[in-house]
Structure 1
Amino acid sequence: MESTFIDVLQKGVAKKPKKAIIYRHEEVVVELQEIVHNHPMLGDAITASLIAAKKIAVEKKLKNMDKFEWPQTLNEYYSYLDRFVRWIPTEADISSKENYDQEIMNKLCHFYWLINHVQNIPVFSEWLVTFANDWGSFLNTPESITPESLQSFMNQPLFKMEDYMIPPGAYTPEGKGAIPNNASGWLTFNQFFAREALPGKRPVDEMRNDQVVVSPADAEFKEEFPINENSEIIIDGKASLKTKRIKGTHAYSIKELIAGSGYEDAFANGTYMHSFLSPYDLHRFCAPVAGEVKYSKAIQGKVFLEVTITDDGEFDAPDNASNGYEFKQTRGVLILDTGEKNGLVAVIPVGMAQVSSVNMNATAGVHLFKGQEFGYFLFGGSDIILLYQEKSNFKLEIGNEKKKLAGNKIGVFQTS
């Protein structure tokens, strides 16, 4: 029975409901909402992954679980993404003795861990690229760094900020503290991440000896493999395994690795080696040998990042991982001609998620001195690969200390 006007008067005029507060997500998160709306099964998969991520983390006794967010629903995940895409990178307080150097890495690993168990659905992978790029854009803004966040890095010994800060009394007024070596200071996080070392902090070993090869970056040596006659990586003597996994990510043959350079077959029967850069390392790279630049370019690719939890309850993204989520990856390819005696050397800086940005400064035809800078990573730099021709007869010489600074000797050409 319909209510009459008298009925309404007797009951009283209903109060207008208060306007609901509409929470506006970040634009990139709204894009994901629309994708999920059009692909409901994707929403189910994400939710299942979120639930599994927390459950497995508990089972594996992940340390400091309460320091991480554990969204269990799509709405909670959307809110988490809102915060992450505007997260200002900060390192842990120096008073935290345990894993004090892992704040950023843990944050990134946790991001991937939450979606570690979702199938590699193309539409989601494409959106993840957009998300990574959006955060990368934020890291290029003044809002991405604060005096407090910068101080958190200065407080951490592994960042060795004395290598990048002009000391008091050198160029600064009396009574002033150390200042960034950038004329304007570091106005964004990416400016800080791509900071330059002070003069003399990365001396070049045996500068005039063309037989000595130096590290192109601050990096820890990981692996060395021979390359067979078909430009295939040979692992454990098995020529049938044609590829090596880059950053534990996508598989490439040498031809694919330097595709488009015109030198795809130049390193047959040569040597492949790669090293890993930590978040606290100098993220600029230099020429390992002197030579003429024959090719210099950034190549677009994809990256997989598999996150695990170790027996010690720590997040880890092993360098030999083979599964994960596709993000925008770029790698730079620099090919140097050292001359007839030792031939060509390729240097390949490889980006990783979140933001894979490799900036190449050298141009074909110029001559680089050993140790001369030719580019830098923005947030996300990860690996650096070296390729040597067969004629150079390269011999690795790193000793017991696998971590080398840019300019440190890593090997020799055994040619006469």
Structure 2
Amino acid sequence: MSNTTTPYCVGKWMPSDQHVLNTWLRKIHAKAEDQTGPLLPAVQQLKTFIETDATAYMAFTQLFDEVPPWRHKSPSGLPQVRDYEHMLRLFNVIMTEAPEYNDSGVVGFPFNAILDWSMDTVGGYAGFLNEKVNAHLRAMLNEWAIFLRSAASTKVLNDQGPGGWFCKDALKHMPGFAEEFQCDPGQPHYGFTSWDDFFTRRFRDGQRPVADPADDAVIVNACESAPYCVAEKVQLRDKFWIKGQPYAVQFMMGGDPLAGKFDGGTVYQAFLSALSYHRWHAPVSGRIVKTARIPGTYYSELLTARADPSGPNDSQGYITEVATRALIFIEADNPAIGLMCFMPVGMAEVSTCDITVFEGQHVKKGDELGMFHFGGSTHCLFFRPGVKLAFDLHGQQPGLNSCNIPVRSRIATVQS
């Protein structure tokens, strides 16, 4: 957690998490087998919807029936989920669990891990694009988010025994935690009031300094993230669902009237791992012109990404058009940049794009814009056609094997 590039390849977050999921999800499976009581309200509502809507019933039956026999175990090494009723029982357990510490990583996307192989079936492709299905998933994930923000979720923030985020072993893997992040080691749970409070922790003053704060030509990294793609001359509309996943600005921006200003421009996309700092920061100084939230999908992935056990990783271009996301348009102080846009994109459980700025507000480069709640995710920066950029990706090529560039570090310079 130093100010240098983190030696952690974000494209490999799910394999490093598999050992954790093996242990953690075995407990979830065991608890689900023992539970005979009623489902939680949001889970029961999803069950009722599946069983009363013909399209949803067909999709949620197909997405398990279509899992090939050779995939008798999930990517996490557990028996494949049998049917939608088994799925709902597993969901019901997770809804009252917060991720525990494990020395080989964090439990990344537990709901995603349950759906794993079924996401890339024909039934899964159809079902997880269904607006009504996503409305129920949104309600369920929002209910889980309430638990993660409650005092009950602090039981994993203890300093005794395995699973505690401040136990001796955990602190070995978070060197300098108390010096880098705002906390109070003298208080219970280091002063954090919930799992979400811990997960969305802030750096102390002086950490992650803003690169060239007085130079408006320098654009900084909006998130603690690794470069995934740089695309130039992007189209307003394109076939984003094909294997190459070209960007389609109109659909990425949900049909926003400002989308046309970026037709033919540049898109930079970067990926946050499950272990990353999850707050967003202004890449440039300027005025907030507009903000918007776009509801979308949570578990939709490309059928061409069938070799991807973690689903969203190999579908990152595609999900920028369909997943739940937000838009923050900024009129940069530097006229050579002019109007640009920051777009955080939720992946799977990362359903909350929390905007903390308002229209008309002036922000300085590096100021906070908002945050994700729980898990890893992805984001894009949009620049208009004619904006000439020299990217500085810290000696890396964009892709799933790139590593984190610290937030607020230089990633590009605009040429006059």
Q: Tell me, yes or no, whether TM beats 0.5.
A: yes
After alignment, is 283-292 or 107-116 more displaced?
A: 107-116
TM-score calculated relative to the size of structure 1: 0.73
Whether 1:57 aligns to 2:71 is yes
Larger Rg over CA atoms: 1
Kept after mapping to 2: 8 A contact 1:69/1:80? no
AA paired with 1:211?
Answer: A
Q: How does 1:188-203 map to 2 (within 5 A)?
A: 188-203=194-209
Whether 1:83 aligns to 2:93 is yes
Whether 1:412 aligns to 2:408 is no
Q: How does 1:292-331 map to 2 (within 5 A)?
A: 292-306=287-301, 315=310, 317-320=312-315, 329-331=324-326
AA paired with 2:153?
Answer: S
Q: Indicate the residue corresponding to 1:4 in structure 2.
A: none
Kept after mapping to 2: 8 A contact 1:101/1:158? no
Whether 1:30 aligns to 2:44 is yes
Q: Indicate the residue corresponding to 1:135 in structure 2.
A: 144
AA paired with 2:91?
Answer: L
TM-score calculated relative to the size of structure 2: 0.73
Kept after mapping to 2: 8 A contact 1:304/1:323? no
Name the one with the larger helix percent.
Answer: 2
Higher relative contact order (CA 8 A, sep 6+): 2
Give the Cα separation in 2 of the matches to 1:263 and 1:355.
26
CA change 1:370–1:33 in 2 (3 A) is closer
Kept after mapping to 2: 8 A contact 1:250/1:304? no
Q: Indicate the residue corresponding to 1:265 in structure 2.
A: 260
Residues matched between the structures, number:
362
Q: Indicate the residue corresponding to 2:28 in structure 1.
A: none
Whether 1:385 aligns to 2:380 is yes
CA change 1:327–1:30 in 2 (3 A) is farther
Per-residue deviation at 1:304? 4.3
Selected match of 1:220 from 216, 226, 230: 226
CA change 1:380–1:332 in 2 (3 A) is farther
Q: Indicate the residue corresponding to 1:109 in structure 2.
A: 112
Per-residue deviation at 1:222? 0.5
Cα-to-partner distance string for 1:359-390 (whole Å, 9 max, x where unaligned): 22222333211111121111256111111223
AA paired with 1:196?
Answer: R
Kept after mapping to 2: 8 A contact 1:158/1:280? no
Kept after mapping to 1: 8 A contact 2:346/2:377? yes
Name the one with the larger strand percent.
Answer: 1
AA paired with 1:101?
Answer: G
CA change 1:171–1:216 in 2 (3 A) is closer
Kept after mapping to 1: 8 A contact 2:96/2:147? yes
Q: Is the partner of 1:379 in helix, strand or coil?
A: coil
Per-residue deviation at 1:127? 2.9
Give the Cα separation in 1 of the matches to 2:283 and 2:318.
31
Q: Is the partner of 1:89 in helix, strand or coil?
A: coil
CA RMSD of aligned residues (A): 3.9
AA paired with 2:411?
Answer: I
Q: Which runs of 5+ in 2 are unaligned?
A: 1-34, 397-401
CA change 1:368–1:82 in 2 (3 A) is same
Per-residue deviation at 1:280? 0.9
Q: Which runs of 5+ in 1 are unaligned?
A: 1-20, 95-99, 233-240
Give the Cα separation in 1 of the matches to 2:300 and 2:341.
25
